[in-house]
Copies of this chain bind each other. A is one copy, B any other.
Amino acid sequence: MANITKRSEDYSRWYQDVIQAAELAENSPVRGCMVIRPNGYAIWENIQATLDAKFKELGHVNAYFPLLIPKSFLAKEAEHVEGFAKECAIVTHHRLKQVVVDGKVTVVPDPDSKLEEEYVIRPTSETVIWDQYRKWIQSYRDLPILINQWANVMRWELRTRMFLRTTEFLWQEGHTAHATAEEGRQETLQMLEVYRWFAEEILAMPVITGAKTANERFAGAVETYSIEALMQDNKALQAGTSHDLGQNFAKAFDVKFQDKEGKVEHVWATSWGMSTRIIGALIMVHSDDDGLVLPPRIAGTKAVIVPIWKSDQEMAEVCAAADRIAAQLRPVVGPVHVDKRDNMRPGWKYAEWEAKGVPLRLELGPRDLAGQQVMMAARHDRRKQAAGFDVLAEAVGAELERIQQDLFDRALKRREENTHVVEAWDDFVDLFANRGGGFAHGHWCGDGACEKRIQDETKVTIRNLPFGRDETPGQCVKCGRPSVGRVVFAQAY
């Protein structure tokens, strides 16, 4: 198994090593695209299942729109084309042709198959979806439309990093249409709250919810809200966004409806998305120098049973007992794996399952069997305790709950320890240059140019204007002009 670089030595290398050791993903021969291996995809499947159930509970349905977008569509919303034109994969031909180059047979795009209008692989689907919504919406009776799509999208990123920033990524994108501005706003905030709930309750990842600044808004949005989490290297990561699109896309695609009073108006829109990027955050928030750490509620395998034996006779007995225990546990706690490989020592198995982030290990040797108990070892804090066969399901369930809560508490404590209130510019610069950074609550004048200068000088950005922020007036940390409240600054992924 691969050695894992320590976080203190090289955080970025550690991240790659954890992904490799846990077999979550790897680079592919396609520029900036990764292969999501079964262990990584299992996490995504759990994310999908949990979010999808929640979306449906709130009245949303799924649909599927085309991968390709006519390039002219992108251009219809001015800010949108500005935001996405620089990083999109463009389809120009529809046939390959065999040719001989330097005596070797190869294939090239057939010039006769050049498309009249080029297509762009969707970087996001607002344009192609709103073009369709025009055909579906005439009256207030057709509203709201509450549609979500699970899809792959592509943005031609220059610097890529597995899960965090890849050319192709998987996500869900919700696209809703409403009869009033207020309803659209409520939907936007409701879905942000779903992301907060998901991050905190399922991924055990504390997040700050709030509005992005105008500079950081989604291309075409009236307001963008985000959830922001703090990683172990004290950089922030935007882990989900929800956009109030106002009437911008309805106007660009001419989508109008007749309200109850017979008045014709443009429709109000929202969109919201969470992507495979969240897996990168999940890895970075909880994992340690021995590999992946996963909160039980999102782990594919909740517990692994490692039977221990010296003789064939013992092997038969402990393996049979392990299978019985696993069968008892599964209906109560979810997937449980029994590692019966006979070409590997228990210690090696422990290390492997630790690297793969299984939250709980159950060790079962002949002496345990005689005593009708197993030894439970938690992945994240190594706590070991015996649990009798007669109370095993309850004990395992309780330990998994403890692990889930402890991971959240630990991450929250780390965030609090690395959250600062800053007043003076010197202090601000010093915090990020010399004192480890983190989240900084500071005043900002509200001017995008000033925000930009802060970023240029320190690589620090405004993550968001947190809900319930301190609105005591003050002076901008950078320029000293009046500020109506504090925003949260950080260096970010």
For chain A, the bracket of interface size reads 35 or more
Residues of chain B with a CB closer than 8 A to A61's CB: 38, 41-42
Which of B107, B121, B170 is within 8 Å of A71, CB to CB? B107
Contact A94 B87 (CB under 8 A): yes
Question: A30 near B170 (CB under 8 angstroms)?
Answer: no
B88 and A94 contacting across the interface, CB-CB below 8 Å: yes
Tell me the nearest residue of chain B to A97, going by C-beta.
B85
A86 touches B96 (CB 8 A): yes
**A89: interface (CB < 8 Å):** yes
Structural contact, A28 and B89, CB atoms closer than 8 A: no
Whether, in the assembled complex, A445 has its beta carbon less than 8 Å from a beta carbon of chain B, the answer is no
- In the complex, A54 has a CB within 8 A of chain B: no
A22 to chain B, nearest CB (A): 14
A 150-185 to B, binary, CB cutoff 8 A, 1 in contact else 0: 011010100000000000101000000000000000
Interface string of A85-110 (1 = CB under 8 A from B): 11111111111111000000111110
Residues of A17-54 at the interface with B, using a CB-CB cut-off of 8 Å, are 26, 28-30, 33-38, 40-42, 44-45
**A41, B156: Cα distance in complex, Å:** 29
A70 contacts B by Cβ under 8 Å:
yes
The answer to whether B85 touches A30 (Cβ under 8 A) is no
Known A-B contacts A74-B107, A107-B74; A81 and B65 likewise in contact (beta carbons under 8 Å): no
Whether A69 is near chain B, meaning CB under 8 Å from some CB there, is yes
A71 vs B35: C-alpha distance when bound (angstroms): 18
A 60-84 to B, binary, CB cutoff 8 A, 1 in contact else 0: 0111111111111111000001000
B96 touches A93 (CB 8 A): no
Contacts of A152 in B (CB 8 A): 67, 151-152
5 closest cross-chain pairs (CB), A and B: A85-B96, A33-B66, A38-B61, A36-B64, A94-B156
* 8 A-B pairs whose Cβ atoms sit less than 8 Å apart in the complex: A30-B128, A36-B65, A40-B63, A72-B107, A75-B105, A86-B95, A90-B96, A151-B152
